[in-house]
């Protein structure tokens, strides 16, 4: 069963389907890099820090801060280079679910902070969508995964 089709159910946009099919590997690369940047940029900033996790009620916040930053680096690197992409995507799903459930319960924040926490929660839903797509599609042609599998 093909994951992508060049035939469209919509005649008026069938040209766009052909372009999408022809550019799928490049678009997967761009998507992979953009999602990876979310994790790499956050980890390089040292977030989540122990103070933030203390405020969320974490036990052993220093320990969990280090674990979270390491996880973000691992997720970011696997997606950026396309090595172990499906595993990185699954780790990313787990990480984002934990982060959303523990840190972005916007309804529990004071009203002045609810808006930004709502944005963080919905942003995480979009990241989850991208991670699920990468889990299903894999890293694409431009990746270490493809090189290791011997495909070009």
- How is residue 5 written in tokens? 């089709």
**For 77-108, how does the pLDDT look when each residue is reduced to its tens digit (9 = 90+)?**
999 999 999 999 999 999 999 999 998 888 88
The mean of the pLDDT values for the chain is 91
pLDDT band at residue 124, thresholds of 50, 70 and 90? very high
pLDDT at 125 over 50: yes
Task: Give the predicted TM-score (pTM) of the model.
Answer: 0.86
pLDDT at 126 over 80: yes
Dihedral, CA of residue 95, residue 117, residue 45 and residue 75, to nearest 10: 20
pLDDT band at residue 3, thresholds of 50, 70 and 90? low
pLDDT at 145 over 50: yes
Residue 139 DSSP code? S
**For 34-72, how does the pLDDT look when each residue is reduced to its tens digit (9 = 90+)?**
999 999 999 999 999 999 999 999 999 999 999 999 999
> For the chain, what are the domain ranges?
37-148
pLDDT band at residue 14, thresholds of 50, 70 and 90? confident
Q: Which whole-number Å values give the CA distances from 92 to 8, 9, 105, 151, in the listed order?
A: 32, 33, 19, 25
* 63 C-beta neighbours (distance < 10 Å), count: 12
Q: At what angle do helices 111-137 and 85-103 cross, to 10 degrees?
A: 160
- Measure the CA–CA gap between 102 and 56, rounded to whole angstroms: 7
Instruction: Count the helices and strands in the chain (H runs, E runs).
Output: 7, 0
Q: Which whole-number Å values give the CA distances from 10 to 1, 5, 21, in the listed order?
A: 20, 12, 15
């Amino acid at each position: 069963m093909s994951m992508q089709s060049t035939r469209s159910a919509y005649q008026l946009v069938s040209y766009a389907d052909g372009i999408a099919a022809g550019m799928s590997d490049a678009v997967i690369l761009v998507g992979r890099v953009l999602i990876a940047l979310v994790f790499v940029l956050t980890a390089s900033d040292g977030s989540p820090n122990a103070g933030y996790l203390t405020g969320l009620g974490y036990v052993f916040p220093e320990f969990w801060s280090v674990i979270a930053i390491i996880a973000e680096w691992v997720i970011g690197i696997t997606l950026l280079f396309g090595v172990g992409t499906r595993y990185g995507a699954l780790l990313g799903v787990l990480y984002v679910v934990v982060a959303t459930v523990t840190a972005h319960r916007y309804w529990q924040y004071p009203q002045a902070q609810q808006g930004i926490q709502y944005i963080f929660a919905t942003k995480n839903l979009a990241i989850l969508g991208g991670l699920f797509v990468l889990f299903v599609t894999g890293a694409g042609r431009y990746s270490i995964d493809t090189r290791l599998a011997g495909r070009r």
